[in-house]
Structure 1
Amino acid sequence: MKIGPTHLKRYKDVAMLFLKHGNSELAKQGDFASSTDIEETQGKASAEDLANDLEKLGPTFVKIGQLLSTRSDLISPVYMDALSRLQDDVEPVPYEAIEKVVQEQLGVRISKAFEFFDKQPIGAASLGQVHRARLRGGREVAVKIQRPAIRQEIITDLESLQEIADFLDDNTDFGKRYEVGRILAEFRTSLMRELDYQKEARHLKELKENLREFKKLAIPEVIDDYSTSMVLTMDYLAGSKVTSLSGTVLADLDGEVLADELFRAYLQQILVDGFFHADPHPGNLLLTPDHRIAILDLGMIGRLNQRLRDQLVHLLAGISHGDGIQTAEAAIRIGEPRAEGIDRAGFINRIEDLVGESHKSDLAGLQIGSIVLLVMSACADSGIRIPAEINLLGKTLMNLDRVGIALSPRFDPASAIRRNLETISASRVKDSFSIASLMGAMTETKDFLGALPRRMNEILELVATNKLRVKVDSIDEHKLMLGLQKVANRITIGLILSSFVLASSMLARVGTSFRIWGYPGLAMIFFLIAVIGSFILIASILIKDE
């Protein structure tokens, strides 16, 4: 690929970033959970410095920093904490540019499409900004508009980063260990998904359908006629950040019930639906005036297949009950061991210590999300490759823990999991008996029964003609026969040598003029044959046998 000036500038920017931060401090082996306050302070300062540098590099790097904050297998907790606070708050795009995007995407002037459109955004981020508006007819809406040219800027940055990632993978131990190219591919998928507002619209609809039974939760409805890949129009939901609620509001709020329903809804998303809102930070979870929780911004989502959901049930149950062995076994089944293998016993002991210690801590101690991230970090240290969705899940649960405690200081996420796992498990079993599952099972049964007569005829014909053979690969028959033959030969030689010793002792009593060293000669010959043969047999055993 031809390297233009834009790529050269990005190479320089990223090179400077690596020179400044790409040492052992950034890698998770750089242990910032230090025993000294000085080292801990230095680690936090370096992490904050990295977050600031990423903000200066632009939206692509801000998003990568946010995604990197979910990867407990790559960076230390102090860096995760610093990067998770990266904010998308930027200077808004001038209204004229926003007006142009809306009119190009909707094919109509703003004044024709909307009765009212606020020129001042209610929120501005690195990828887009949100304006409040009113449709003709009086429906209050929020319009999310993508920043002009942001897509091309991100694609250019990702192309530059791809070449750097390829170089790191091919030429550095860091790249080979952490597979930078694979991580960047995951980031690319997530970023491209956030840039497609039509996908976000589908996510909102899917989540609204999945959580329709949760009456205390609100998901905005998408207005399809006013939505495109760069413009997303949805119902406007007023509310306040959960973490900024005043004491008066909290006193009038049944926070524990609200937190429990929110947590139960996320458990259903994760363990039953396999589709979850992956960014429940306080800005995306608002308390509405009618005391419901509004879930906003589905640009970042996670999907979990059936196998992962099955193992997550065991993982979360193990954590909530303080069962380290169950937690460790579930983590091993979730992950994929690297080529060098893992120390299974050492890993299980580490998880037992981690889960046991956290289970004994009080409410102010580690929460479920933090424990999941620590378990995933232990997996990375032990050579277990964890799917990116699981790290994203850990960060989701950690944010959810904070929201739950903000709603009710007495809320215990571990207890919420224990209370709801039985209901969740029953729901999953019920889903396994759905019409689609039963039809699939009936189809497989039909195929089996249809092929059964032919297969039985083939087996009976082989039996009748004495051609049925059973191949067993559990042992090597050739090596087994050689071993048995070697044993039989050694026993035979031993018996012969023993007979020579016995014969020499009997011949020693026979008087004869032929003597060797004063003993009867024939007896001594048999005895010497037995001694030499014994030495040869012993030497053969020591040299040739394993």
Structure 2
Amino acid sequence: MALEQLDKYTKFFGFILKYYNSDIVKSTTNSAMNEMTVEEIPKDDFDDQPEELVEDLKRMGPTYVKLGQLLSTRPDLLPDNYLAALAGLQDDVETISYQEVENIFEEEIGVKISKAFVEFNPVPLASASIGQVHKAVLHSGREVAVKIQRPGVRKNFFDDLDALKQMAAIAVSHSKEAKKYALDDVVEELRYILLNELDYHKEAQNLMVLKENLKEYSHLVIPQPVVEYSSSKVLTMDFIEGKKITSLGHLKKLETDFNPLIDDLVEAYLKQIIVDGFAHADPHPGNIHLTSNDQIALMDLGMVAKFSPKMMEKIMMLLVGMSKKDGDAITEALLEMSDYNSATANIENFRKNINRLVLESTSTKAEDMETGRIVLQMNRIAANDGIKLPVELNILGKILLNLDQIIAVLTPNYNLQQAIQKFIKRMVNKKIKQELKPENVYGLLLDNKKLAENLPGRLNKITEKLANNEFEIKINAIDETRLTDGFQKVANRITSGLIIAAMIIGAALLMRIPSSYSILGYGILPFIFFLIAIGLGLFLIYNIMFKDENFRNDKDS
């Protein structure tokens, strides 16, 4: 066990040492310290390294592949060419043997594969770091896809995550850059993502929830699980024959009008994000297929995003602002959902940069637009100005980034901004109807009932106190004692200053009067006045420099 941990740390430190002095880390550091923005660094400085970084992450193992995929949504951390390389990062893993697949299925489900299925293809359709997928046929004739989780994958992931967590904690405690970009939060987010992806029970539930939420969209299809043949490590679901959106032939694109499909796809994702608060978080081209009957299939729901009601409202405001290209509205929405210190954050610079970003995105055609990239770019701008945007905005950016690719392939002339404006109106109506559901109205009635019950008694108490001249309003706004104490100190200082000044002026005038007694050539009386004035002045300076500080410390404690 100790040797395994040592090997993990050795690989990790070897990776860090390789990239610590590289241009990519320097660019991130400079950006973090506001010395230089990523855009100002010449791209040639690190054009040759993105592919090398991708290969190194693959060699590090599945956990680091997932970390790379997560970092592909962090433009505040990495330059654009690295984001593009990491976005397509897929792990190359060996397939599980058919014997292992049989053993895992029987152990999890309690039934042999030969009994559960009429046919089961031993050759996997796909193989990834967490599991691999096989095609099978149930006795009912229903074609299904069976996802089998790799043996030991959970332990490997969590061992790597524990090492990453310790390294991130050390980095955050010793590095301003690591603390600013919250590397410990990145690792925590990775852990949360993997916990969900490793539990196939959750994925089965996600498939059913999404199917129900999107049942009104006839052009979309979501595979449904076979609950009897599913567990935390085995997921059996509908097999959907289709092609990746990005692999469609040119002729197919010319012959088919994809606008109705894209309308449904865009509206469905808007509904997920700002009405349901439950969204398919990984709609990359590999997970979006076009079926033989021209439907769009949403695959792989291991990763979903959940948005709170308040966050949904802020995101809706953000999308409305983006559709209208209103930089100020976008800025206000971002600030309302973010975390920042008003004393240190550069709000005006943030507002200026967001407006500049919005104005530069002049195109409305899908093939030229980068809505997702713009959202992710906002994170980079925010980090440079001392503003921390919520994780949900990264998820939103990733969703929109993938949708941009799909829309650009199927309908290059699609006006996404116009579609968002049109659909937002409908979404708002849906949201209002949802909030007027009986259970929500019932909660509102209960609150009003409590108010109605308590109001007469409270009004009676108020009027009684008013009649007896006992009504008081307490405001904890100003410390009166401290305020008057401060005024007294100011008055004393002014008086002391006037006395000192008078003594100095008096001494200067007395010097002109001849005296039989003198010290150092000066009359004794003006000399004494000067000494007293110097002593009082020093005493006054001492009080200002030390006593006032002690006074503040006493009050604060």
Q: TM-score range by the shorter chain?
A: 0.7 to 0.9
| 2:325 aligned residue (316, 322, 325) | 322
> C-alpha distance in 2, partners of 1:339/1:55?
41
- Equivalence map 1:88-237=2 (5 Å): 88-237=91-240
AA matched with 1:437: N
Scaled by the length of structure 1, the TM-score of the pair is 0.85
Distance 1:380 1:488, change over 3 A: closer
Query: C-alpha displacement at 1:389, in angstroms?
Result: 2.0
Which position in structure 2 is the counterpart of 1:256?
259
Query: C-alpha displacement at 1:361, in angstroms?
Result: 7.0
> C-alpha distance in 2, partners of 1:439/1:375?
40
Which position in structure 2 is the counterpart of 1:6?
4
> C-alpha distance in 2, partners of 1:22/1:76?
16
Query: C-alpha displacement at 1:114, in angstroms?
Result: 0.7
| 2:352 aligned residue (349, 353, 362) | 349
Aligned Cα RMSD in Å? 2.9
> C-alpha distance in 2, partners of 1:118/1:248?
32
Which position in structure 2 is the counterpart of 1:285?
288
- Equivalence map 1:57-76=2 (5 Å): 57-76=60-79
Say whether the 8 Å CA contact 1:320–1:359 is kept in structure 2: no
Query: C-alpha displacement at 1:42, in angstroms?
Result: 4.3
Distance 1:117 1:453, change over 3 A: same
- Give the SS at the match of 2:14: helix
Which position in structure 2 is the counterpart of 1:21?
19
> C-alpha distance in 2, partners of 1:44/1:302?
33
Query: C-alpha displacement at 1:172, in angstroms?
Result: 2.5
Query: C-alpha displacement at 1:474, in angstroms?
Result: 4.5
AA matched with 2:24: E
Distance 1:57 1:479, change over 3 A: closer
Distance 1:56 1:339, change over 3 A: farther
Query: C-alpha displacement at 1:62, in angstroms?
Result: 0.7
> C-alpha distance in 1, partners of 2:92/2:444?
51
- Give the SS at the match of 1:205: helix
Query: C-alpha displacement at 1:313, in angstroms?
Result: 1.0
Say whether the 8 Å CA contact 2:58–2:92 is kept in structure 1: no
Query: C-alpha displacement at 1:475, in angstroms?
Result: 4.9
AA matched with 1:18: I
AA matched with 2:115: K
Which position in structure 1 is the counterpart of 2:375?
372
> C-alpha distance in 1, partners of 2:202/2:37?
39
- Equivalence map 1:434-513=2 (5 Å): 434-475=437-478
- Give the SS at the match of 2:375: helix
Scaled by the length of structure 2, the TM-score of the pair is 0.83
Query: C-alpha displacement at 1:387, in angstroms?
Result: 1.7
Alpha-carbon deviations, 1:84-110, whole Å to 9, x = none?
A: 110134321111111111111111111
Structure 1: state its 5+ residue gaps. 490-516, 518-538
> C-alpha distance in 2, partners of 1:219/1:354?
36
Distance 1:69 1:425, change over 3 A: same
The count of corresponding residues between Structure 1 and Structure 2 is 496
Q: Which piece of structure 1 moves more, 135-144 or 91-100?
A: 91-100
> C-alpha distance in 2, partners of 1:477/1:331?
39
AA matched with 1:15: F
- Give the SS at the match of 1:359: coil
Say whether the 8 Å CA contact 1:304–1:389 is kept in structure 2: yes
> C-alpha distance in 2, partners of 1:206/1:146?
22
> C-alpha distance in 2, partners of 1:288/1:394?
26
> C-alpha distance in 2, partners of 1:14/1:485?
63
Say whether the 8 Å CA contact 1:130–1:144 is kept in structure 2: yes
Alpha-carbon deviations, 1:184-224, whole Å to 9, x = none?
A: 11110111110000000111111000000000000001110
Query: C-alpha displacement at 1:486, in angstroms?
Result: 11
Which position in structure 2 is the counterpart of 1:391?
394
> C-alpha distance in 1, partners of 2:363/2:298?
32
Query: C-alpha displacement at 1:264, in angstroms?
Result: 0.9
AA matched with 1:417: I
- Give the SS at the match of 2:66: helix
> C-alpha distance in 1, partners of 2:12/2:485?
64
Query: C-alpha displacement at 1:458, in angstroms?
Result: 2.4
- Give the SS at the match of 2:361: helix
AA matched with 2:328: I
Which position in structure 2 is the counterpart of 1:520?
none
> C-alpha distance in 2, partners of 1:224/1:209?
16
| 2:419 aligned residue (416, 419, 423) | 416
Query: C-alpha displacement at 1:163, in angstroms?
Result: 1.6
Structure 2: state its 5+ residue gaps. 493-512, 514-536, 545-557
AA matched with 1:382: D
> C-alpha distance in 1, partners of 2:464/2:484?
32
